[in-house]
Amino acid sequence: MIVTFVLKDGRHVAVEGAPGRSFMEIARDAGLPVEGTCGGQMSCCTCHMILAAEDYRRLGRPSEEEAGMLDLADGLTATSRLGCQIRLDDETDGMTVRLPR
CATH number for 25: 3.10.20.30
- Cβ–Cβ < 8 Å for 7, 97: no
How many domains does one find in the chain? 1
**Is pLDDT above 90 for 77?**
yes
For 16, phi then psi, to 5°, come to -90, 140
Q: What is the pLDDT of residues 29-42, one digit of tens each?
A: 999 999 888 888 88
Q: How far is it, in rounded angstroms, from Cα 31 to Cα 22?
A: 15
Average pLDDT on 75-95 reads: 95
**Residue 6, domain extent:** 2-98
Average pLDDT on 17-37 reads: 94
